[in-house]
Amino acid sequence: MWVYTVEVGLGIHARDRDTIKKWSDLSGKRVFTGPLPWDTRAQIERAMAAVGVKHEYQEVDLSSVGSLLEQGSIEGFLTYTNAEAATAPWISEAGLASDWAALNPAPDELATLREKGFDIVEVKPGNIFGKDVHTGSLTLIPFFYGFHLGLDVPADDVYRLLDLVEKNAADLAKGDKGFSQIASDMKGMQRRGVASSIEYVRVHPGLARWMRDRGVWDAKWDARVAKQ
């Protein structure tokens, strides 16, 4: 079951907006793309490499990101949203120590990202970060999180699980914004998640049947359904 996305992007200090206008402008500059083992770092690093950004990775403590950006010790940093609705506390805290601005990819960089298979979403910042990030729309690169069961769990049980989540998704979203995507479009979220991973992992037969019944299954995926 695919539950939510994490959408990664980049931020810079607002004072640098006249000189750093696109991702490629960060080449040669010190950028904190997240702690070394983080999945968000892996995703933004893949995307930056895809458009040829050759930055200098700078590892820093999360609590000091804002102050280091303010001092100029780093010139860019990882930003992200969860389910296009919330962000991590350390990113909000960075906004208290510095006036950072979101850095969106340029049109040619977006074309390259799409050509290389990256999904792209547009997110309205609103109150997500608790500050003005100097743009009306964020261009972010999502990847997918889910709750995944092995083949020892029968297809009928997975099907019932998906039904229960769909019926109660609105209540889940009231308690945690991370569930907002399945609350607004449960079946669409399953299709997006499967499409993002179909080349790498087989689909549980319970999920495949559930998607077929809701008209969001693609017949070209039939060979990728796992056998029980």
* Chain-centroid distance, C-alpha 71: 28
Q: Would you call 83 helix, strand, or coil by DSSP?
A: coil
* Tens-digit pLDDT profile for residues 137-161: 999 999 999 999 999 999 999 999 9
pLDDT at residue 28 in the model: 98
**Structure confidence at residue 96 as a pLDDT band (50, 70, 90):** very high
The pLDDT of residue 77 is above 90: yes
pLDDT at 129: 96
| pLDDT value for 146 | 94
* Tens digits of residue pLDDT in 43-68: 999 999 999 999 999 999 999 999 99
pLDDT the model gives residue 177: 87
> pLDDT for 9-45, tens place per residue?
999 999 999 999 999 999 999 999 999 999 999 999 9
Report yes or no: 173 and 179 within 8 Å, Cβ to Cβ. Answer: yes
Mean residue pLDDT across the chain? 97
Cα–Cα distance between 47 and 22 in angstroms, integer?
A: 13
For the chain, percent of residues with pLDDT exceeding 90: 97
90-107 mean pLDDT = 98
What ranges make up the beta strands (E) of the chain? 2-13, 30-32, 56-57, 76-82, 100-103, 121-123, 138-146
Q: Percent of the chain scored above 70 by pLDDT? A: 100
164: CB partners within 8 A, 6+ apart:
none
Residue span(s) of the chain under CATH 3.40.190.10 come to 2-143
pLDDT of residue 4: 96
> Is 117 a residue whose pLDDT tops 90?
no
Evaluate whether 30 touches 170 at the Cβ level (below 8 Å): no
Report the distance separating Cα 106 and Cα 118, nearest Å: 15
Identify the pLDDT of residue 110: 98
What class has domain 2-143? alpha beta
Q: Is the pLDDT of residue 178 over 90?
A: no
